[in-house]
Copies of this chain bind each other. A is one copy, B any other.
Amino acid sequence: MGISREQAAENREAIIEAAERLFREHGVDAVGLTALMKAAGFTQGGFYNHFKSKDALVAAVMARAVQASKGALAGGDVAREAAMSPEARAEQYLSVTHRDDVACGCPMAGFAGDAPRLGEEAQACYAKGLADAIAAMTAAGVGQGLSPAQATQAAMARFAQMVGTLVLSRAVVNVDPALSEALLAAGRQALNGQRADA
């Protein structure tokens, strides 16, 4: 068709964006390239002008998702996120809104189930994103006076609590919405409220 280089770069981004949404909604394996290219507004054959394989696209999707979520755990406005207290962030992370927004939410939670079976490059992006998220929470803990070791341990446990709660609440929301919301509430209380395990 003849397309400018600028336009081609935009089209490549459009493919990655469509792929991220579809991968998160249906799983990487369940999305075919024909459907994917159609969702991005193109025909199947053009895919290989932008990526050398589906695996390469998965890696590009993961790199983008992880980069976009830096400092924005729930996929929202990055600047506003950065100004949030840890408590407010947990409230947002474990909200019904975030639970229902699989397509745009935290990639560490959205791809957690798929990650062990992705290609090596995509796995590396995922691990980098996880390390970054933990590092950001660790820095906040150090800023509040914890030792680096304490802050790291607390950040890891806190992030795992957040991801675990979100993943479980998403796993049961279709068949037991009450349990799904109770899990979110219990997670919020554990992260921000009084500990009930004393």
A-to-B contact residues, CB < 8 Å: 26-27, 29-30, 102, 108, 111-117, 120, 123-124, 126-127, 130-131, 141, 146, 150, 152-154, 156-165, 167-168, 170-176, 179, 182-183, 185-187, 189-190, 195-197
Other-chain residue from B26, B124, B130, B157 in contact with A161 (beta carbon distance below 8 A):
B157
Q: Which residue of B lies closest to A150 (CB)?
A: B196
Question: In the complex, A172 Cα to B134 Cα: how many Å?
Answer: 13
Contact in complex: B158, A126 (CB < 8 Å): no
- Decide: A174 near B29, CB < 8 A? Known: A108-B168, A112-B167, A160-B161: no
For this complex, 15 residue pairs linking A to B, each with C-beta atoms less than 8 Å apart, are A27-B114, A113-B167, A116-B170, A116-B171, A123-B175, A127-B179, A153-B189, A154-B196, A156-B183, A157-B196, A159-B164, A160-B168, A160-B183, A161-B164, A164-B165
